[in-house]
Structure 1
Amino acid sequence: MLIPFLASSQNSKPNIVIIYVDDLGYGDIGVNGAIGVKTPNVDELAKNGLNFTDAHSSASTCTPSRYSLLTGSYAFRNNAAILEGDAPLIIDTKKETLPKMLQKAGYKTGVVGKWHLGLGNGKIDWNNRIDLGPKEVGFDYSFLIPATGDRVPTVFLENQRVVNSNPNDPITVSYGARIDGGYPLGRENPEMLKMHTDPYHQGAITNGISRIGHMKGGKEALWIDEKIPFVLSEKATSFIAEEKDNPFFLYFSLHDIHQPRIANIKFVESSTMGPRGDVIAQMDWCVGEITKALKKQNVLENTLIIFTSDNGPILDDGYLDYAIELLGEHKPGGTYRGAKYSVYEAGTRMPTIVHWPAKVQPGKSDALLSQVDLYASLASLVNQKIEKEAAPDSENHIDAWLGKSKKGREFLLEEAFTYGLRMGNWKYIKPKNKPVPGWITQKFVDPGFRKEIQLFNLDKDPSEENNIAENHPEIIKKMEQKLQEILK
């Protein structure tokens, strides 16, 4: 029975699963040199798949990179920035998206996990179906963390309705004025907290953790942080089981390893790095649940899994969990300089693995690739035409993604608080004559912008330590011209 199944599955459209981790650095997985934490499930994907050494998110922060992934458009074109928990949907529902394109190709589409792309079209009514969300941008099924784990409301949404909503305990959310009778605030009740925070995260306390923003009501709907990986994995694997007889697209967007980093007891002390290392192990378990589900449904052979992250690593992002003190010899960004919020390489150079037993040969690739290109590349894979004006920045590099070629992009844009541009091993950083915002310096992050032009040769200087702009005016001129073309 096995041989006919394989033969037929290899001739059908593959299932597509994007596992999108949050704040995971290039060096945070075992195969890329992690120390102090083991990632056996991710390493198994790499062993049997293609491990990319120069694949990038489009931006060094979460909302912009997610926007680019799903639209094939750079985030700056829509002024996409990190959103609050009650922000309106930033994806134009009239425009084509990656899931809409795959729906037209015959796919059932689902998103499970962190959303952070806005909801609704103004003030959100959390007590009824939210009118604009994943459904309107192409997802048949959705189970969401609306924004981030450190923002209210701390409730799940299933198909754009709050799970376990109680009309007798309506939810109110505010990112401005305090709500009378709302949940206690971290800045006033530190004795109630599981961990202390910076001033920015001292809003509503739920499950012993203070968040950004104010909230009232919805007590029965509140999530328990320690259970989030199990809830999300169960919803993702249920989607796989339900859609196993159709081509399906699953966008599995994990909360881990974003702060607050609250590991389930199953993973506490599974690393030597404290909570940050423990949630890396927790993330790895979630990856294992997906591959187990695909095996159980006999669809792993013909499923294209893309494992990657939304932006670079961050140690201190508002909650006191001793990530800096317990780091040891581990290097979250590998040999690369930078972090989340930074234009240096570690801000966007992501751990990236492609696994598709039916088509992809195991190995490594140094092709220069961007997540913004997944739109056009997957459209090519499923023989679906891209609509006019859709995915304006997405390039078709399906042969590189599948290991048939090592030729990726000629130029690659990196969005941060300024712009970086790659051309082969050359890295250009656009100058910016503004001071670093105080909230970034408090996170021990160098965002990378300077008053002067920066140019690096990553082949000789992967850590971007030696600015050689003065020595290469011709390279500078070419890269400045290309950047202006993109920006205009």
Structure 2
Amino acid sequence: DPSRETIAKLLKRHGYTNAIFGKWHLGHREKYLPLQNGFDEYAGLICSNDMWPVDYDGKPLTGKKRSYYPPMSFWKGNQPSERIETLSDQGMLTNKITKQAVDFINRNKNNPFFLYLPHPMPHQPIAASDKFLGKSKLGLYGDVIMEIDWSVGQIINALKNNDIDNNTLIIYASDNGPWLNYGKWGGSAGPLREGKGSMWEGGARVPCIMRWPEKIKPGQTSSNIAATIDIFPTVAEIIGEKKIKTKIDGTSLMPLLDGTPDANPRSELYYYYGENLIAVRKGKYKLVFPHVYRSYKKVKPGENLHPGAYAQGKAGLELYNLETDIGETTDLAAQFPSIVNDLQTLGEKARSILGDKLTGKTGSESYETVCGSQPPAVKFSHLAIGKDLALGDSPHQKYPGESISALVNGIGGTINYRDPSWQGFEAKDLIATIDLGEIKNINSVRVRFLQDQVVWIFLPKKVQIEHSVDGKTFELVHQSFPDNGFSYVQDVFEFKVKLKEIESRYVRVKGFNLNTCPDYHPGAGGPSWVFADEIIIQ
């Protein structure tokens, strides 16, 4: 929601210059990109580094789900600037964004700034630059971590060289636990249970290091509960912002940072996985609710940089003391029923606010309440509904529509290309012939196409509409040449011809594919798509 306050927007209002170098992955439409959301500079990936048509070992993918991703690009500002085609290219990402960060610090040493550096590594696939390959003596994963450690050192050196490190707050943290089915290429959760994709401590608990010489006494260790959502209100307190424009769920950690005795800014925590409330914590106790979860137990990790399979675990109502049992090995629910009841009450509080799909609860601030339901289907009433349809080429197996007759079922798609109403044609033309069954009076014919160039979906280079009485000889009644210049516009475009009550039985619509992405596009030379969802005859 671009109207929401963010750290970058807040700091910008207070005179800070803001930059992000690294992984964004918060929306690839222009309005969702960093420069439209409080940042002054951006360079990096707009998505996860595994969203490309290359396998984890660097070989091209064919016939698999990820092979349908477009080639990856390194972006600067609102535009892609260069292709990332190989693991060697990915191996330069840490070096590339570190140089951007150091340059930004040097240019902004005399004014307040906010630098966000979300490293793409060590997310899979992992890669390191030649300078660090083999240097750690701990395999490729060790090399990757060693290079990130070097990056942190470069940042600190830049701050010291500009004599601004004492009054700069550095926060170093991770987003989730290790991807354990990658084996030695996925990291380790140490004594913690499970890993990424679960709400056991191995999936949710990560280290956090903060450095601020003028404020934080060195050498401190805290076991207090804290969460990433607490960074925003902490920053707000630091800059003296008393009232954040939009409601947030975090709490300021400043009492911990400035050494306030017995400080405990957060005593409770909700563990959500998507819209499912998996667990709650209060103090040292964590109550896990019944659920099925991703597990790495009793399965073989992958080999040669590839992932292994996941297992499936099943949890009941379970209670753990995280002070004495950080590995969540001993269920204390039967031993402490009063604590279970107390934490169940906390769970109901969470559900009343944020909802919970596991129990079917809708909260006062859950998605359905705040954003409403999914957009309703667009429905049409017309002569072709349910009539025979013949396609020159079948749609791609990944985007087949609700059925082979999706173009004449009376249901139109939304602007989301994953909407099942759409039929997608990769490097093929749409040629659809409709048999109305008998001669009909026809006043108009419309056809709907989707444009979403970011995901390689273009309007046809040419649209033709024809009709025939006998199904053999067709008369052209409409021809247009849509504009396929560069565009961020994601929308449905309708092409229509009005007729003077012609009498005919067959209607044929042709949407000619560009076949390859234009030179201006990041996927230049790759296969382009045409998406259609309804041919409306009235």
Q: Do Structure 1 and Structure 2 share a fold, with TM-score over 0.5?
A: yes
2:136 to 262, 271, 275: 271
Summarize the alignment of residues 72-471 of structure 1 with structure 2, pairs less than 5 Å apart: 92-120=1-29, 130-152=30-52, 194=58, 202-203=66-67, 213-215=69-71, 221-223=82-84, 224-316=89-181, 323=184, 332-362=188-218, 363-391=220-248, 393-405=249-261, 406-416=263-273, 418=276, 419-432=278-291, 434=292, 443=308, 450=315, 452-471=316-335
Give 1:93's aligned amino acid.
P
Q: Which amino acid aligns with 2:265?
A: G
- Determine if contact 2:178/2:202 at 8 Å carries over to the other structure: yes
TM-score, length-scaled by structure 2: 0.56
Q: Offset at 1:200?
A: 5.7
Write the deviation string for residues 421-448 of structure 1: whole angstroms up to 9, x where unpaired: 221111111212x57599x977566676
Deviations 1:344-390 (A, max 9, x none): 11212111111011111012112211111111111111101333543
Measured in 2, the distance between the counterparts of 1:375 and 1:283 equals 24
**SS, match of residue 455 in structure 1:** strand
Partners of 2:54 and 2:18 lie apart in 1 by: 38
3-state SS, counterpart of residue 470 of structure 1: coil
Q: What's the offset of the Cα at 1:339?
A: 1.0
Aligned residues: 331
- Aligned with 1:221: secondary structure? strand
CA contact (8 A) 1:107 1:246 kept: yes
> Residues 389-409 of structure 1: CA distance to partner in whole angstroms, max 9, x if unpaired?
431x11122111344344231
Once the two structures are TM-superposed, the CA of residue 254 in structure 1 deviates from its matched residue by 0.6
In structure 2, C-alpha distance between the alignment counterparts of 1:251 and 1:234, rounded to whole Å: 13
Unaligned residue ranges in structure 2 (runs of 5+): 75-79, 300-306, 353-538
Of structures 1 and 2, the one scoring higher in RCO (CA 8 A, sep 6+) is 1
Contact 1:110 1:251 survives alignment (8 Å): yes
The AA in structure 2 aligned to 1:358 is E
Cα pair distance change 1:197/1:108, threshold 3 Å: same
Contact 2:72 2:83 in 1 (8 A): no
Q: Which AA in structure 2 matches 1:468?
A: L
Match of 1:484 among 334, 348, 362: 348
**Deviations, residues 276-316 of structure 1 (Å, cap 9, x unaligned):** 11111111111111111111111111100011111111133
In structure 1, runs of 5+ residues without a counterpart are 1-91, 121-129, 153-184, 205-212
Name the amino acid aligned to 2:319: L
The answer to whether the Cα contact below 8 Å between 1:343 and 1:449 also exists between their aligned partners in 2 is no
Decide which structure has the larger Cα Rg and report it. 2
Other-structure match for 1:74: none
Q: Distance in 2 between matches of 1:472 and 1:430?
A: 15
Say if 1:338 and 1:138 are closer, same or farther in 2 by CA, change over 3 A: same
1:24 — aligned with what? none
- Structure 2 Cα separation of the partners of residues 347 and 416 of structure 1: 10
- Please state which structure has a larger fraction of its residues in helix: 1
TM-score, normalised relative to structure 1: 0.62
Q: Displacement, 1:273? A: 3.3
Please give the per-residue CA displacement for 1:146-201, whole angstroms capped at 9, x wherever unaligned.
1111113xxxxxxxxxxxxxxxxxxxxxxxxxxxxxxxx658xx9xx636989867
Q: Is the 8 A contact 1:344 1:448 kept in 2?
A: no
Residue 112 of structure 1: how far off its partner (Å) = 1.0
Q: Distance in 2 between matches of 1:386 and 1:446?
A: 46
Change beyond 3 A, Cα 1:307–1:142: same
Listed as ranges, the matches of 1:51-62 within 5 Å are none
Q: Deviations over 1:456-479 (max 9, x none)?
A: 111221110111212222111211
Contact conserved, 1:305 with 1:356, CA < 8 A, in 2?
yes
